[in-house]
Amino acid sequence: MSHSEKVLDVNIVVQTEPAADITVNGRTITEQAIAAEMQYHPAPSREEAYQLAARALVVRLLLLHKADQLGITAVDAEPTEVAVESAISELIEQEVQVPEPDDVSCRHYFDNNQHKFRTQDLIEASHILLPAAPDDLKERRRMRELADEILTKLNQGASFKDQASHYSVCPSKKEGGHLGQLSRGQTVEEFERQVFALVETGIAKKPIESRYGFHIVRIDHRVEGQLLGFSEAKSRISNYLQERVKRKAISQFIEFIAGEAEIKGFDLNVSDSPLLQ
**151-193: per-residue pLDDT in tens?**
999 999 999 999 999 999 999 999 999 999 998 888 999 999 9
**12-52: per-residue pLDDT in tens?**
333 333 345 799 998 999 999 999 999 999 999 999 999 99
SS3 assignment, position 218: strand
User: Of 13, 61, 55, 57, which Cα lies nearest the Cα of 267?
Assistant: 55
Instruction: In whole angstroms, give the CA distance from residue 59 to residue 49.
Output: 15
Whether this prediction's pTM lies above 0.75 is answered by no
Q: How is the chain split into domains, by residue range?
A: 3-100+237-276, 122-223
Secondary structure letter of residue 227 according to DSSP: B
Q: How do 12-14 and 22-24 pair as beta strands? A: unpaired
Distance of alpha carbon 180 from the chain centroid = 27
Which of the following CATH numbers is that of domain 122-223: 3.10.50.40, 3.40.50.1110, 3.40.50.2300, 3.30.70.260? 3.10.50.40
